[in-house]
């Protein structure tokens, strides 16, 4: 009884119900790496719990020799609750929108309609309600995963979407099979325990779903953690721009790509002028803010195909795609002028920040380290000329693009208390 191709369906439902326990434990043991992921993980646990309850009730209904006749209506409601919680959890995990009020209205309306249809003997209506809600919500969860823009864990997201898309399809096909039989006057063919290949696939998908869902959600969370750790290692904590490590790793590849495309890489070494005076006058907190302001201001002025990183202390290094040395000098001058033209409001003080920039262009030298050394030497020359200027030219003999001031600006006099 209740056996298809040697598979005892009530036992299969029981296995699925029991598998929900380790699935929930796995998710509860998983510390969500981002605060906004924790509610989604909790909803996945609740969804797996509701699904396990529905499978346990199906097992209770089909157990031998004493079935539980009231188990099917309860399983239907638990199954709808599981689908609602799953869709809500997927929306939270993958950045989609499904309001709690909408989800609860769907659950309460579906449950009330299902119970009313079952009480009045309209079995076909009860089947249509359960199948429509569950299949639609499974499909919604699949779409949320497949349409997510999160760059972390694309394989796990695709597998999650594929899994729940298959479950949605089997749910709708099985429900359609039942409705066709009712319409033809053939009865319900045993319902959840029908002797059909489609029902076997449907039962297998339900039994495998709890543990598979938990593993895929953990995969997404672990991929996000790995991506976050990578971003932390590549991003300077103080300024928010890239680190020196990222610069030295990416620079040779960027230069090779530019050379292959017929362009050049300009290496700009940028030094924040009078930084020690800022620290000595207003303290390291203001100094840190000045560094961050300068870094983000310079990054904002650069095109998206450029790379800027904090090289060390108050020094930054930028790699800019250019066509020739003149364009490199013009870009460096634009960076210098834009920062000098906009005084920074830091801690209630208006401070004029300036930079000295050394420029080296790929061409006569193709090695990144050599270009870096050349640009660094140009920075020292810019400081010797009075700061707040750009120095470039060949690596043998530099030329000044900007006429430096006669003396370095006095930051104390350039600042006013607001």
pLDDT-wise least confident of 92-106, 144-158, 319-333, 363-377: 92-106
C-beta of residue 336 within 8 angstroms of C-beta of residue 354: yes
Judging by DSSP bridges, how do beta strands 390-393 and 355-361 pair with one another?
parallel
User: pLDDT (tens digit, 9 = 90+) per residue, 52-72?
Assistant: 999 998 888 877 655 666 777
CA 252 to centroid of chain Cα atoms: 28
User: pLDDT (tens digit, 9 = 90+) per residue, 348-384?
Assistant: 888 999 999 999 999 878 889 999 999 999 999 999 9
List the structure tokens of 28: 């509860």
Is pLDDT at 418 greater than 60 in this prediction? no
Strand, helix or coil at 389? Answer: coil
Per-residue confidence band for 191, with pLDDT thresholds at 50, 70 and 90? low
**Degrees to nearest 5, angle at CA 30 with 27 and 31:** 135
Which pLDDT does position 91 carry in this prediction?
Answer: 93
Which pLDDT does position 415 carry in this prediction?
Answer: 46
Q: Average of pLDDT values for 314-340? A: 94
Closest alpha carbon to 358 in 338, 337, 327, 328: 328
User: pLDDT (tens digit, 9 = 90+) per residue, 382-398?
Assistant: 999 999 999 997 776 44
Which pLDDT does position 376 carry in this prediction?
Answer: 93
- Beta partners for residue 360, in sequence order: 267
Is pLDDT at 399 greater than 80 in this prediction? no
- Cβ neighbourhood burial of 171 (10 Å; 0-12, 13-18, 19+): buried
Strand, helix or coil at 1? Answer: coil
Which pLDDT does position 183 carry in this prediction?
Answer: 76
Residues 388, 374: Cα–Cα separation, whole Å = 19
User: pLDDT (tens digit, 9 = 90+) per residue, 249-300?
Assistant: 999 999 999 988 889 999 999 999 999 999 998 999 999 999 999 999 999 9
C-beta of residue 372 within 8 angstroms of C-beta of residue 385: no
Residues 234, 228: Cα–Cα separation, whole Å = 10
Residues 265, 324: Cα–Cα separation, whole Å = 9
Mean pLDDT score of the chain: 84
Phi, psi torsion values for 316, nearest 5 degrees: -125, 155
- Cβ neighbourhood burial of 81 (10 Å; 0-12, 13-18, 19+): buried
Per-residue confidence band for 35, with pLDDT thresholds at 50, 70 and 90? low
In this prediction, what percent of the chain has a pLDDT beyond 90?
Answer: 47
Per-residue confidence band for 404, with pLDDT thresholds at 50, 70 and 90? very low
Most confident of 57-66, 160-169, 170-179, 357-366: 160-169
Rounded alpha-carbon distances, angstroms, from residue 384 to 45, 49, 316, 356, 391: 65, 71, 18, 10, 11
Is pLDDT at 115 greater than 90 in this prediction? no
Domains in the chain, start-ordered, CATH in brackets?
A: 3-233 (1.20.1070), 244-417 (3.30.70.270)
List the structure tokens of 127: 């089947």
C-beta of residue 81 within 8 angstroms of C-beta of residue 39: no
Which pLDDT does position 103 carry in this prediction?
Answer: 80
C-beta of residue 265 within 8 angstroms of C-beta of residue 253: no
State the DSSP code for 401: S
User: pLDDT (tens digit, 9 = 90+) per residue, 210-233?
Assistant: 999 999 999 999 888 888 888 888
Q: Average of pLDDT values for 10-37? A: 82
Q: Average of pLDDT values for 139-153? A: 90
For the beta sheet containing 344-346, the strands, ordered from the edge strand earlier in sequence to the opposite edge, are 344-346, 349-351, 416-417
Most confident of 8-12, 116-120, 329-333: 329-333
Which pLDDT does position 397 carry in this prediction?
Answer: 47
Which pLDDT does position 3 carry in this prediction?
Answer: 55
Is pLDDT at 140 greater than 70 in this prediction? yes
């Amino acid at each position: 009884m209740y056996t298809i191709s040697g598979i005892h369906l009530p036992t299969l439902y029981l296995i699925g119900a029991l598998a929900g326990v380790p699935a929930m434990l796995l998710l509860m043991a998983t510390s969500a790496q981002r605060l906004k992921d924790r509610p989604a993980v909790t909803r996945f646990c609740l969804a797996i719990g509701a699904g396990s309850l529905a499978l346990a009730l199906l097992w209770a209904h089909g157990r031998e020799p004493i079935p539980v006749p009231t188990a099917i209506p309860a399983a239907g409601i638990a199954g709808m609750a599981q689908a609602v919680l799953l869709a809500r959890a997927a929306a939270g995990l993958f950045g989609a929108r499904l309001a709690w009020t909408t989800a609860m209205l769907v659950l309460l309306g579906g449950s009330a309609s299902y119970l009313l249809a079952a009480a009045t003997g309209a079995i076909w209506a009860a089947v249509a309600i359960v199948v429509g809600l569950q299949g639609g919500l499974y499909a919604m969860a699949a779409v949320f995963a497949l349409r997510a823009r999160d760059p972390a864990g694309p394989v796990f997201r695709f597998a999650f979407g594929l899994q729940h898309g298959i479950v949605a399809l089997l749910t709708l096909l099985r429900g359609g099979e039942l409705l066709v039989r009712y319409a033809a006057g053939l009865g319900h063919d045993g319902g959840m325990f029908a002797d059909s290949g489609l029902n076997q696939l449907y039962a297998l998908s339900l039994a495998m779903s709890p543990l598979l869902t938990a593993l895929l959600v953990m995969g997404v969370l672990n991929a996000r953690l790995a991506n976050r750790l990578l971003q932390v290692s590549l991003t300077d904590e103080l300024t928010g721009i890239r680190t020196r490590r990222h610069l030295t790793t990416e620079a040779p590849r960027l230069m090779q790509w530019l050379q292959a495309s017929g362009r050049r890489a300009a290496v700009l070494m940028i030094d924040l002028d009078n930084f020690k005076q800022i620290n000595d006058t207003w303290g390291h907190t203001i100094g840190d803010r000045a560094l961050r302001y300068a870094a983000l201001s310079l990054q904002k002025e650069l095109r998206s195909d450029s790379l800027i990183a904090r090289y060390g202390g108050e020094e930054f290094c930028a790699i800019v795609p250019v066509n020739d040395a003149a364009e490199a000098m013009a870009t460096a001058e634009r960076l210098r002028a834009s920062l000098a033209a906009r005084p920074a409001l830091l801690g209630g003080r208006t401070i004029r920040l300036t930079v000295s920039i050394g420029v080296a262009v790929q061409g006569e030298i193709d090695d990144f380290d050599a270009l870096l050394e050349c640009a660094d030497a140009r920075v020292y020359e810019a400081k010797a000329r009075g700061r707040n200027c750009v120095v470039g030219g060949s690596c043998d003999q530099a030329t000044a693009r900007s006429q430096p001031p006669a003396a370095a600006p006095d930051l104390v006099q350039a600042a006013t208390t607001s």
